[in-house]
Structures are given as structure tokens and as C-alpha cells.
Amino acid sequence: MFSKKEVKAQVTTFVIIGIIVLILIGIFFTVKEYQNRNQPVVPDKEKKEIGLIKEQIEGCLSDVSKEALIRAGEQSGYVNLPSSLRYSPLPYESDIFINEIFTLPYWYHYNKEGFFKTHKPALCDYDGDCPIQDFGESSIQKNVETYILENIDSCLDYFKEYEEKYSIKELDEKKVNVQIVEGKVIVKMSYPLSITIYETEDVLTIDSYLAEHDVGLLQLFTLAMNITEAEANTHFLEDNVMNLITAYSNLDSEKLPPISDISFLDFSKEYWIRRDIEEKIRYEVLPFMGLTKIVNTLNSEPAIAHVDAEYYPFAQGFYNSFLADIGIEEPLNYEIDIYYPDSEILFFIDDGEEIIKPKTLEGFNKYLQSMFKMIVQDYSYDYNLAFPIIVTITDPEAFNNQGYSFSFALEVNIKNNIPLTQNMTFRRGGASPTLRIEDPHVLVDKEITVKITDKHTGEPVKDTIIYYNCGTDFFVGETEIINNKAIITAKMPYCAVGGYLKAVKDDYASAFKNYNNREDNLDPISMELEMWPVVNKTLKFYKRTKQDLENMKLIEHKLQYKTELSTKDELMANINKVKDDPREEAFPLVGFILATNPNVTSIEYNYETQHDQIKELYESGDINRSVFDGLTAQLDKYNVSEEIELMHDYNMELVPGNYAIDMTLMTNGPFNIPEKTEEICVGQEMPVLGCIGEIQEVTYKEMNLSMWVTGEYNFNITLQENRIYNDGGIIFFVPFLDAPKTWDEIEDYNLQEYTPNIDEWKLIPYYE
């Protein structure tokens, strides 16, 4: 039971609480009454008109921000172009492509200083919120905000229509914030206004304003980055150009010069004028770059070939080759147009001669050279080309189905028939400083672990040198064994586009892995590269005579019917691995073998010409220093009074992969072609009457040749892992035709028709 004192204390507590509650309620209603008493009473008409003022400002905000977004879409993301961009009327020497339609800074181009550069703006300002990690001083977000602030007054008109009823004053400066989010752009403006109603002297304030646009600028910008990155990594635009050049080339002065062709026993010659070729490329070839499509977009269907049925597979396959897969997995409701805008181009062939004519194949001794100069013409040319490409991404549903387009420029660069990829450096346009990849201060704060494994044995590969490349090599370090794994863990430089890892070690083929080291995710990552070990394989060479080929009935006869090289035969074999990656160096380092009969101990060799050719390749940048040193070392090793002591055990370092094999068999003479006289009708030859007109006697003079090409075989082969890593050698076969002895036999002698008609199984290599 409670005592009386305890009960009394409880009652007192409740009384105090009740008094406090009553006081608070009184204060609340007093304040509420004061507020109601001092709140201006605004008639409905004035409320509606003041609402119209806010609507007018928001409409103006919407119009100006729409203008800014459209300008950004028309200028590679820039509303106002940075003054730091360099302009030249020659598009391949400019930071910007300009014509009567476009003013587009390049997102990817090769500049005068000799490296690749990007003038892509950032998406967001450093101080802004951003859905992706793409910040910079010159950003689309900042550009749009600045444009709005500079142009908003042009449509406000200072509220002249309301001057008779209201006094409108600015309380503070305008502030604009643009948010680029998925599927739309949100524009907020702070613009405090004090509005005094003359009639009642009541004062109201309007502070914030909002505009939204259904433009997926974020998606368009990201897609543009993906296209740029795909071009930097895979060079799909350069590949399409070379496909077009190949399709338009032939041994015909009305066509383009071929990339690679040889005329044999053809004493006529074709010539081209460089300016004519340039015009054909500009006006007949490059417009077909518009065939380029991107997978999984609204207009990704390739062109349809309208040709005869027998040519349809080839023609349609050609069109299909222009379909680029840049990794888009889901269909996009966007159209992507890629095309060449008619413009000046950088173009020359080989060393830039104005008259393009056939070259004489250089042989490997003086006898072969003298023969080649007469009967073989080399129509192989290196194309060098640079020109702009416009990419336009269109969202047809944006701006309430009015549509919105985002355009940017890329530059196609081809040197000596391959995409130009060396010395790439990417940096943002605008005032941001150039970053040096080797500077440790630009390393991304992310731990990257690289594991290197022998692709054949699965064993770890210790002491592998790791580089990270973003236009230039950054030395990361060497792998070491940790927990039975060859790994290295390090930080690497920032690289938004075109980055890759490279693993290098003696006695291994180099390995590559594409990787862009960005700052959008700083979690540690691990990756593995596998390297093929190099093995020294024994190679043997035989010829297949007509009799050998006729006797071969079964696959078991493959080694039974073969013929040793004679003492007069010299077989030149070039064996080169087809690059799995354009960044690979040539492999094997020296892929040339001169095979002869075992009884031939030496031959005379022309070193001066070979040294000059190797030097020219090095000085032009077509081979690096290590390849130059390897080739000259091979020549210098035999440079003793211009005679080679021949080796008959032929070995070559190989790894699994696809190889291009080119074998040419020469037989030393002398070959004497006796004089021949025949009568030729120089009038008109009639079916029944014979020659009507003059008959002229033509004499083919006696010809003495020191050497004749008696066999050739060019093919590609895949050397599988089990073929490489065993103890057996590889035997190669080249078809052989006896050298002609008369002028009639010369006319019928055609290796190019003879070899393709031989059953393929009779010539493919034999694996011991």
C-alpha cells in the first residue's frame, strides 16, 4: 500500500506536467494567430498572375537549357569551344573538324607532335554530382550551366508586361545547377525575386525554378565513349577502309593500286597518278564508310547486296564485315550514323611519289635479281591515309519525340596499310594539364594483381616483365613466386581509353590484355595472362615433281613420293606468325630460310642491298630496334667475302598459332632459250579466208637466263599445341615444274595456275 505522502507527491507531479502542456498550447495558438494576422491577403487574380511569372521564368529556363543541350550535341559535347583547341583548314592537322555543318573537336586523333590525343569533354564538373566517374574542368555540365546564366536574360524581358501592377526586384544573383541522370537532364535555378503588389503593398517572394528534358544525355555520352574506346582498341574504322581499298584495287590504271600483287611474265606495266588516286579515294571509296554499322542499334542492319546469286555470298559477306560489335549486349533505341564528311585527306603511297609504278622484286643474289627485273613486277603498295569520320548518335524519342542527336569526330589513321597505334596519349581538352604516364602522382589508388602462367604447362612464369601502356609503356615490375604463383601487385597509371597490359620474357611469346584503368571503381582486382613458351623446331624442305604428284594416290604416300632439292635448287622460305594482336612484334624474329641441297656448301650473296632495305625499314619506323639488330646480326654473321656457308639443319623458334608460309623455289641455269621466228597477221584474221592483209615475220631473240622460278607455294596453316610441343620436326613441300626450254614453253609456263589445281592434301606439311 502507498503512503499518503507518496500519493500526494504523485498528484503534484501530474499537476505540474498539465500546467506545462497548457502553456505550450497557448504559445502555439498565439503564434498561429500572429502569423495569420500578418500574412498578406492576395486576391486570386494576383496569385494567378504571380504564378504566371514563375511559369514564364521556368519556360525561359527550359528554352535556354534546351538550346545549350542542342549546341552540346552539335559540338562534340561542348556548348562553347575551348580557346586552347588548335584549328587548321587541313582536318588531319587540326584539333577540330569544321565544315559548313559541323564544328566538332576530335574525341580521338593523331596530332602533329606524334601521339594520339582526345579532346573529349568530361561529363561533370568537379563540384557536381555525377552518375559516372567522369570529371573535368571543361565539362558538359559546366558548359550548359554557363550558357544558361549567360543567355537566360535574353528571354526574361524583365517582366515588362507586369510593370503596372507589380514591382519585381532581384534579391540575389542567379545560380544554376544541371543534373545529368539516366534518361533525362534536370535543370534547377535559384533566382530570388521580391514581388510587391502596388494596390495592397503586399510583398511575395519566388525563389526556385525547375526544368526537365527527356534527353538521355548520360546514355548517349557513355555510348560515344564506348565507340571511341572500341576504335582505339580494335581499329574497326581502319579495317573498313582497308576492305574498301582492297575491293577497289586491281592491276588496272582505272582502279586503285593493289595492296599486294605480283605480275609474272607480263612485259606491260600499269601506272597511276597519285592525285587521281586521291580523288578516287575521296569521291568513290570513302563515302562507303557509311556502310559501317554498330550491333544492337536501331539502324544496325547491314546493306543488302543486290547481285546475281553466284556472287551474293561474297557481296553480302563484304557488307556484313562493316558491322562492328563494340560490346553492346542489349538492343538500344538509338540510331548511330558513321560517315566520312567530304573533306581534305592526307594521302600518299610508299614514299610519296607522284607517279605510282611497279617495283622490281629484290632477289637474294645477283642472278635472281637480273631475272626478276625482266619477268616479275611487284605491284605491292603501302597506303598512308588520314581523314575525319563523323559519328552521330540519335535518340528519336527525346524532346517529346522531336529527337536529339549527339555528334563527335574521330580520325582514321593508316600507316603502311596498318592502323597507326604507336605513342598514344589521352587527355581531356580544355585547360587541364597534360599528364605523363610515368609520373607516380597519376597512379590510380587501386591495387592490381597480375598473374602470369605458362600456357602449355600451366606452371608459373617467374621474372616476367610487366608493362602498362596508355600511349607509352609504363614499367610496372617483374613477377615473383608467391604461394606457387608468379604474380605482381602494383598500382598503375590512369587511362580512360586504349590501355593494355603487356607481359614480356625471353623464350616466351609476349602476351597482351586490354584494360582501362579508371577511377570509377577502386576495389582491388586480379587478372591473369598466359604466355606460350618458344620451342626450337626442326624444319625440312622437299619438292614435289609432276611425277611425284601423279604417283600419290593415298595419304600414306605423303613421304614416299618426294624429291630432294637438286644441287642447282635454292628454296626461299618465309615463315611468319599471323599476329593475334596488332601490338605483337614480328615472330619469329628472323623467319627467312634459304634451303639447298646438302652437297651445296656456299652461295654468293648480295649483302649491301639487304642491309640498305633493313635500314630503310628501321628508319621509317616499320621495325623496332630489336628487330633491326636481329636481322643485321643474321646478315653480318655470314658476311665473309660475300659467300655463305650453308646450314642443312634448319631450325626455327615457334609457338602455337596461325602462320603465313611463303615458299619460292629457284633453279640455277644456265637456261638457253633459242631464237624463234614466226609469222603474224597484222591485217585481219578471217575464219575461212585466213589473213587478209600483210603478214609480218617476228623474231624472238635468243635469251640466256641464269636462274628460273620453278616452284612456289603460299598458304596459311595453324600449328596446334600438340604439333609444336613434341620432338618431331615439320616437313614442307613445294610443287616443282621444270624450267622452260623454248619460247613456246615460256608462253605455257604458269605456276600461278599450276599450283592451285593440285590437291591440297598433297602439299600440306607433314608432322613427324
Residues 342-393: tens digit of each pLDDT: 899 999 898 787 778 887 655 433 434 444 554 567 788 889 999 999 999 9
**Confidence tier at 640 by pLDDT (50, 70, 90):** very low
Q: By three-state DSSP, how is residue 242 classified?
A: helix
C-alpha cell at 71: 549546341
Does residue 437 carry a pLDDT above 80?
no
Does residue 18 carry a pLDDT above 80?
no
User: What's the pLDDT tens digit per position in 101-136?
Assistant: 889 999 988 876 667 888 899 999 887 678 888 888
- 197 beta partners: 166
Whole-angstrom distance, CA of residue 498 vs CA of residue 233: 6
| Cis amide bond preceding 670, omega within 30 | yes
Q: How many CB atoms lie within 10 A of CB 330?
A: 5
Pairing of strands 525-531, 448-454: parallel
> Vertex 580, ends 578 and 582: CA angle to 5°?
90
User: What's the pLDDT tens digit per position in 145-180?
Assistant: 999 999 998 887 666 667 777 778 888 888 999 999
Distance of alpha carbon 344 from the chain centroid: 21
User: What's the pLDDT tens digit per position in 518-572?
Assistant: 888 889 999 999 999 999 889 999 999 999 999 998 888 888 899 988 888 888 7
**Assigned CATH class of 435-531:** mainly beta
Q: What is the mean pLDDT of residues 49-53?
A: 74
CA max distance for the chain: 156
Q: What is the 3-state secondary structure (H, E, C) of 13-79?
A: HHHHHHHHHHHHHHHHHHHHHHHHHHCCCCCHHHHHHHHHHHHHHHHHHHHHHHHHHHHHHHCCCCC
> How much is the pTM?
0.53
Whole-angstrom distance, CA of residue 496 vs CA of residue 498: 7
